[in-house]
Amino acid sequence: MPELPEVETVRLGLARYLPGQKVLGVDFDNPKSFPNSQELVRQQLIGARIESVDRRAKVLLIRLSTGYTLLVHLKMTGQLVYRPNTGRGWGGGHPTDSLIGSLPDRSTRVTFTLERGKLYFNDQRKFGWAKLLPDEKIPELDFFQRVGPEPLEADFTFEEFRRRLSRRKRTSIKAAILDQSVLAGVGNIYADESLHAARIHPETKVADVSPLKLRRLHQAIIDSLRISLEHGGSSDRNYVDAEGYKGSYLKFARVFRREGQPCPDCGTDIVKTRVAGRGTHICPRCQKPPKKTPRNR
């Protein structure tokens, strides 16, 4: 669930609280969630000061003073929630009752003890991970080598979008925009939202999307991500921000999780189907299925 707007919302929250704090300790049990040796943790994490919290695609990068970075991928059900230490202090103004209960809870995989609070990495399904890497190794990771442009940055131009799509001509347009090497940060929610806004059926082959609609899609991706970010992202079931609060984008969603409800553009009931192996929401009137172009004779 955490896609670009959700991960960026978490980043913004963490960036308010973490920089400047020293890591005093870390508790973890599941090696899948935190695949780092005790020795590495002792040498590069404990005692390190947090310098900044960055993001690339859906990966959070917590930069440390040791020259290492803690990379975190929330995958589907991950949460990074910060709780300041109780008691008075100038850090006041922080909500005391966020929307998740006391921490740690059943899904807590890692607990980081900082100088002024604790950072909890929760992950019900254990798909996510948090791992330490030397700064210089990060650009060498396969994922960072392949990943496409940030859609809310200036380098996500229409030309670049089209150029990267050109490697995926015969797959569906939905599969193509979910591909992180085409652009970074789109997941199932914003794929459905932007395809509806651009009035493109998700099963349309990339090569069959008209230039006009491709241009509309490029803009629709940018717009849907930006609007969601303004609402703190989408909370379906698990997602919460760094303070434990849900995002409200789904209240404004066009089609996602709205099967049986009227299309905002034409009033036709939204239908849920399956495309590229994922639940897919479309307006059957605004998003006409592709004509079966018989390519052989």
Partner DNA sequence: CACTTGACCTGTCCGC
Partner DNA sequence: TGCGGACAGGTCAAGT
Residues found near DNA in the complex (CB under 7 A):
1-3, 32, 57-59, 73, 75-77, 106-107, 124-127, 142-143, 167-172, 175, 178, 180, 187-189, 206, 236, 272, 274, 276-279
Residue 22 CB, shortest distance to DNA, in Å, is 29
β-pair type (117-123, 78-84): antiparallel
Residue 107 CB, shortest distance to DNA, in Å, is 7
Measure the CA–CA gap between 73 and 265, rounded to whole angstroms: 35
Measure the CA–CA gap between 261 and 270, rounded to whole angstroms: 6
- State the catalytic residues: 2-3, 58, 278
Q: Which is nearer to DNA, 111 or 180 (CB)?
A: 180
Nearest CA among 284, 288, 285 for reference residue 273: 284
Give the containing element (helix H, strand E) for 211: helix 211-230
Place of tokens 């969601």: 228
CB atoms within 10 A of CB 52: 15
CA-atom Rg of the chain in angstroms: 21
Q: Which is nearer to DNA, 107 or 287 (CB)?
A: 107
Place of tokens 């850090």: 91
Name residue 53's beta-bridge partners: 62
CA distances from 233 to 16, 83, 142, 226, 242 (A): 18, 20, 27, 9, 12
Nearest CA among 78, 64, 114 for reference residue 238: 78
Residue 101 CB, shortest distance to DNA, in Å, is 12
Q: Which is nearer to DNA, 1 or 23 (CB)?
A: 1
Residue 89 CB, shortest distance to DNA, in Å, is 34
Q: Compute the C-alpha angle 12/15/19, nearest 5°.
A: 175
Residue 40 CB, shortest distance to DNA, in Å, is 21
Bond prior to 95 in cis (omega within 30° of 0): no
